[in-house]
Amino acid sequence: MNPNNPSLITIAIDGYSSSGKSSMARHLAKTIGYRYIDSGAMYRAVALHALRNGMISHADNSVDADRLIAALPEIAIDFEVTGDTQSTLLNGENVETEIRAMAVSQCVSPVAAIPQVRHALVAMQQKMGESKGIVMDGRDIGTTVFPDAEMKVFVRASAQTRAQRRLSEMIEKGIATTFEEVLANVVSRDHIDETREESPLRCADDAVVLDNSFMSVEEQNKWLIDLYNRIISSL
């Protein structure tokens, strides 16, 4: 509990890529007046730094882990909120659009599998959540970053549904790609995220599971707020 405001809790929302967890998490945070942190954006910002500095192989998207680990102290990640939009800052530069491009999606899972990268980002995330009143989404929030979170949700949906959702988002942003390319990326990232040694994607034992394959955005948002209200009234 935060001694200054005992009603504030920590909310961890984990799940597969493109499961819609970020939109749900952002909506919940806005509704209840909490801070929202997209931890995936932090891994993407590190991957972008690696990409820009020639640490990713063009041949197979493998990472020069030694160089990236040595560069970690030079990487500052922050978030900037303007009205309803939250942007990711990499060393002060707004990289929100660039971190969503396919080039970053293709190398982010190998970057996120490096234990030293995870340790650095987990420490930053834990600091951001020190005062509670936070909704954070990712892969290891309920298991590693905030194992004592009062509310934990694990979101799943079929790979086809998730690829279709990501494709629509990318088309909307004018990013050129195909369904096959997006589906292959979703499946490959699931595999790397689930099988890496350091905090693999896993449902926390005390998380509530939501399969949103056949739910509308409004239904998901309502489901999440109802769960929050139930948890708050039981504390």
Give me the residues that bind ligand DC (CB under 6 A), please.
Answer: 17, 39-40, 43-44, 108-109, 112, 138-141, 189, 193
Task: Judge contact between 20 and 153, C-beta under 8 A.
Answer: no
Helix (H, G, I), strand (E, B) or coil at 152: strand
Task: Judge contact between 139 and 17, C-beta under 8 A.
Answer: no
Nearer to ligand DC, 164 or 232 (CB): 164
**Closest approach of Cβ 172 to ligand DC, in Å?**
16
**Closest approach of Cβ 127 to ligand DC, in Å?**
15
d(CA 191, CA 223) in angstroms, rounded, equals: 28
Nearer to ligand DC, 199 or 221 (CB): 199
Q: What is the largest CA-CA distance in the chain?
A: 53
**Closest approach of Cβ 92 to ligand DC, in Å?**
21
DSSP state of 207: P
Nearer to ligand DC, 39 or 61 (CB): 39
Write down the H helix ranges in 18-134: 21-32, 39-52, 65-71, 102-112, 115-128
**Closest approach of Cβ 4 to ligand DC, in Å?**
27
Task: Judge contact between 126 and 200, C-beta under 8 A.
Answer: no
Token duo for residue 113: 């599998």
**Closest approach of Cβ 135 to ligand DC, in Å?**
13
Nearer to ligand DC, 7 or 195 (CB): 195
Nearer to ligand DC, 39 or 221 (CB): 39
